[in-house]
Amino acid sequence: MGKPTGFIEYLRELPVDRPPLERVKDWKEFHQHMEEKKLRTQGARCMDCGVPFCHTGKLISGMASGCPINNLIPEWNDLVYRGLWKEAIDRLHKTNNFPEFTGRVCPAPCEGSCVLGINNPPVTIKNIECAITDRAWDEGWVVPEKPAVRTGKRVAIIGSGPAGLAAAEQLNRAGHSVTVFERADRPGGLLMYGIPNMKLDKKEVVLRRIKLMEDAGIKFVCNASVGTADTDTVEPQMLLQEFDATIVATGATKPRDLPIEGRTLKGVHFAMEFLTANTKAVLDGGADQCPIHAGGKDVIVIGGGDTGTDCVGTSVRHGCKSVTQIEILPKPPMERQASNPWPEWPKVYKMDYGQEEAAAKFGADPRVYLTTVKKFVGDENGAVKEIVTVQITWSKNEQGQFVPTEVPGTEQTRPAQLVLLAMGFVGPEQALLKDLGVETDPRSNAKAEHEKYTTSVKGVFAAGDCRRGQSLVVWAINEGRGVARECDRYLMGTTDLP
C-alpha cells in the first residue's frame, strides 16, 4: 500500500495545532489540516507490511490494539497517496459510520499497533482519516442514505451517544423505522455534552451528522427521559408495546465518587457536571453563563484521563487562577518498556492539549503523580477552600494485587475553590435497567453477550458502555453496528448488515 519505499523516505509529520495561548481564548477546534501534498506524503508512509495490525481491533492486556471497527486503513492510505479522495471516503464509510468523530476524539489505537511503529514513528492514521472525512463533507459526498424499501418494523433506541447513533444509522439502512430517545435537550449523548467543543465542534460536526440522519428518515426525540420516576417522560413499557425491538444504549454515566471528609462541600463537582454545564452554556450564549465557573479560582482536577484533560482545558479557558491535576498512578516512561511491547497500546508520557495549554499559561505540566486526596477543607460558608493530599507508593498485597500505600510525612495542603472529580465511571444508571427488567452482570452493566447483545428481556438489546463498561467512542461505534446487525436478524430472521 502507498509507496513501497515511502516509510523509508518520509518522516512522520502532523499539522501544527493552533498555539495554546491563542486557542484558550475561544471554544473553536484547535486542530488544523495539512495541505494535500503533505497528506499524500503521509499516506505514502503506510507500508506494504503484509499483515497489518492496525485494523485488528483486539484487547491486549486490557487495552485496545488496532481499530475496534476494523477500518481498512492501508487501503484508504493508499487511495489518499494516489489522490483518490472520493474512493477513500467510500472505503472509510464501509466500516465507520462517523469518521468525523473518530478522526477528532479517538486516541488512535490503530497507530499504537502500526507495524512501522515497531522501530519508527507510526503512520499518521488519525490525521489522514479526519482529512478524508472533512474533505468528503466539503465536496458534498456525504449524503442521506434513505432505504429503498421500508420493512414496517419499528425500533426504539434509548440514548443518542455513539453506540445509539451507529445502531440507528445501520437499522435505518436496513429499512426499519428508527426512533431515538434522548433525555438531554440536544442529541449526541457523550459526543454532545461529554466532550468539549474545542475537541469536537457541536454545530459544525455533531449536529451536522444528526441533521443528515434525520434527512435519511431517523426520528430523534429529545427531553425524553425513559423510566418510571416522577421526572421521567416516557414509560418503558410503552416502548416495549409500541416498538418491535428496543435497544438500550445509555452509556456508563454513573461517575466514580470520592467519599472522603468534606465531599459534600460546595464547589466539589463531578467532572461531567462541569463539562456538560459548560458546553450547554457555550451553545446557549457563552461560557460566562456556565453555573460552575473556574474563573479566578484555584482548580483541582482529580483524575488523569481524557475527562480530566478536558476539565483542565475548560478551566484554563474560563480564566482559572491555577490548575492542578492529581494522578494516583506513576508518571509514564518516555518510551515503551519491555513489559509493554508492540502491538499493545504504548503506555508512554505525553502532553495532551489541556496540559499543553496549562503549561503555556502557568509554566509547567499541571499533573502531580503518585498522589491522592485525603480530605476537602471548607470555609465558614460551607464551600471548599483547600484540599489535603498525600504521596503514595504501589506495592503488592498478599493476594498479589497492587495497592497504594501512603508515604508518611508527605501530606500537603493545596488551595482549591473548585474541585472536579474525573476518576472514570462505574457503570450505567440502574433505574432504567430495573424498569425494563433487564438483568445486570457483577459490574452492574446490562447483561448481554458481546456480538449477541440480547438481554434477559425478549426484544430488548443492549450495546455500548452500558453493556461493556466505560470505553472508547470507537468501541461504542463497534457495538452500535453489532447490535444493529443482531436486532435486524431478530426482526427479519436474517441480516445483510456488516
Residue ranges of the chain that CATH labels 1.10.1060.10:
6-139
Cell of 471: 470505553
Helices (H), 216-324: 236-242, 271-284, 306-318
Which residues on adjacent β-strands are paired with residue 373? 389
What are 177-195's pLDDT values in tens digits?
Answer: 999 999 999 999 999 999 9
Which pTM does this prediction carry? 0.95
What are 447-468's pLDDT values in tens digits?
Answer: 999 899 999 999 999 999 999 9
CATH superfamily of 154-253+426-492: FAD/NAD(P)-binding domain (3.50.50.60)
- The C-alpha atoms of residue 29 and residue 111 are separated, in whole angstroms, by 22
Cell of 164: 445509539
Strand order in the sheet with 245-248: 219-221, 177-181, 154-158, 245-248, 460-462
Residue ranges of the chain that CATH labels 3.50.50.60:
154-253+426-492, 257-423
Contact present, 330 and 316 (Cβ < 8 Å): no
Mean pLDDT for the chain overall: 96
Instruction: Report pLDDT for 400.
Output: 85
Which residues on adjacent β-strands are paired with residue 180? 157, 220
Cell of 186: 440536544
Instruction: Report pLDDT for 398.
Output: 87
Instruction: Report pLDDT for 1.
Output: 62
- Burial status of residue 339 (CB atoms within 10 A of its CB: 0-12, 13-18, 19 or more): exposed
Query: What is the rounded average pLDDT of the residues 386-415?
Result: 94
What are 44-84's pLDDT values in tens digits?
Answer: 999 878 889 999 998 898 888 999 999 999 999 999 999 99
CA distances from 492 to 133, 149, 219, 245 (A): 32, 14, 21, 11
3-state secondary structure 412-466: EEEECCEEEECCCEEECCHHHHHHHCCCECCCCCECCCCCCCECCCCCEEECCHH
Q: Which fold has domain 257-423?
A: FAD/NAD(P)-binding domain (3.50.50)
CA distances from 225 to 181, 354, 395 (A): 8, 33, 45
Asked if residue 2 has pLDDT above 80, the reply is no
Q: Which CATH class is domain 6-139?
A: mainly alpha
Would you call the peptide bond into 408 cis, given omega within 30 degrees of 0 as the criterion? no
Query: What is the rounded average pLDDT of the residues 406-433?
Result: 96
The answer to which of 180-189, 226-235, 289-298, 432-441 has the lowest mean pLDDT is 226-235
Cell of 6: 515511502
